[in-house]
Amino acid sequence: MLARMLQLRIASLVLVAVAPVAAQTKALDPTVGACTRKDEFAARQTEIDARIVALTGAATADDKARLGAAIAEEFGHCERIENLIRYREPDLRHVFLPLLAADHWPIRARALYGLKMVGDAQVALAVAAALDDPDPRVRELAASCLGRLAADTAALAARLEREDDDCVRATIEAAIATVESATKPYRPWQETLVGPAGARRVEWAWTVRGPTSFNDYDARTVETPTATGFHWPISWYDGSLFAPVPRRSFGAGGNHAGEDMAWFREGTSVFAVTDGLVRMVQGAGGNWGFLVLVEHRLEDGRYFCALYGHLGFDILVRPGDVVRAGQKLGTVGLSCSVENGGYGAHLHFGIGDNPFRKPQGLARGARLGFDYEGERVQAPITDFLYMPDRPDEYGFPGLGVRVQVPDGPSLDLHVGNVKMAQQVSWITGYVDGCRGWLDPRSFLEPRIAPRDRDR
């Protein structure tokens, strides 16, 4: 019952990145953004359906290879590749394999995303060759693809020995763990497919509403590790395929409580920004799509939470997992799909200035009224804390706030029982004045090693 209350509460509260920005902003790269233009995209999808049906219905392997190469040449080197990566027919490998030789790195990366979704062991050798691509963003996609398709880890291990890019290394490590583990990804998910027989593809969706398919969290432990190092949440943090670089989206319009990045980079790896404890994993169905929230604690005891929204289904962590800085958590989800909440593919990354659970409506700096030495006083909240020795009626550690009495001491106050849905009501993409949220870039940049700041 409690989990269902939390699920419905968050579904009603969270709003996310303004997806129409993608459609309204002229793309810097002509191969991206078509998916946000619904009518044009749908007409193009219908046109391509007939070609895919011919491909999947071809009688021989040679015919399939010939037709696949023709489709790749006609549709794969422009924005129509956003149509192609939605298909889930195995014969689409004949389209994506030729595109591994494309001159433009986003095309090669999308081809690898496509192979990850439709390929099998037959394409592993070609994908392994992409581990030597000159662009680390392509090598990263190749590693993710092999993590899903490969039967062994030899190619991944060999690349790991000579890889010097931290994001690629972390993706390779996650791919090796995925191949060797029978328990990942976490909570596998089935996409909804539409289209004619022989050309089945992911259903187009925009700003998805409603309850999520699951909403799992672990809130009873307070043993969050101390942060010992910091990492960007994604490679090419300041890069963009459709807007000026760098693009600053935190606080846009006065209320966007996070940064939107990695636009139209489906399948790109997402990493933990520092050591922490996974508190929540949300499934598809709401406008966040798949979401991961990790709680962190700084050396001075101050908590903050990192929120990763609009992810794909292949989540690699579960609530209660301890993660390290730079560890892969999941990937960016498919554009305009239920999987990512119905937006152009991107990562919404936010930093909440508080632990995972906190009293509803309160933020650091807010003034709180309480009794002190027989008088009613008001004092600003300087911190939030857990009180394990004061559990609430649900068995969760109690919630507390630290206040600074005017001309007096610092006090820790227990706030009493608060329903779980109210404790996590701060999880939202839009907050007036971004109250309770920190600018991710300004927070991370001074904490990241100088050699990594330009990544």
Same-domain status, 352 and 372: no
Flag whether 285 is in a domain.
Answer: yes
Q: Is 320 left (phi over 0), alpha (psi -120 to 50) or beta?
A: left
- Alpha-carbon gap, residue 323 to 28, rounded angstroms: 35
Flag whether 298 is in a domain.
Answer: yes
Backbone φ and ψ of 306, nearest 5°: -105, 125
Flag whether 188 is in a domain.
Answer: yes
Same-domain status, 326 and 395: no
Candidates 309, 320, 241; CA nearest to 14 is: 309
What mean pLDDT value characterizes the chain? 90
pLDDT of amino acid 244: 65
Same-domain status, 292 and 441: yes
- Alpha-carbon gap, residue 24 to 37, rounded angstroms: 10
pLDDT of amino acid 245: 54
Flag whether 337 is in a domain.
Answer: yes
Same-domain status, 37 and 161: yes
Of the two residues 246 and 217, the one the predictor is more confident about is 217
Domain residue limits at 52:
25-202
pLDDT digits over 75-113, tens only?
999 999 999 999 999 999 999 999 999 999 999 999 999
Residue 331 scores a pLDDT above 80: yes
Candidates 21, 44, 45, 86; CA nearest to 338 is: 86
Same-domain status, 106 and 164: yes
Q: Residue 251 maps to which CATH number?
A: 2.70.70.10
Same-domain status, 229 and 375: no
Same-domain status, 305 and 233: yes
The average pLDDT across 50-55 equals: 98
Write the CB contacts of 317 (distance below 8 Å, at least 6 apart in sequence). 186, 278, 281, 292, 323, 327, 329, 330
DSSP string, 202-264: EPP-SS--S--S-EEE--S---PPBP-----SSSSTT--SSS-SS---TTGGGTB-SEEESTT
Same-domain status, 100 and 132: yes
Q: How many domains is the chain partitioned into structurally?
A: 3
Q: What is the pTM of this model?
A: 0.92
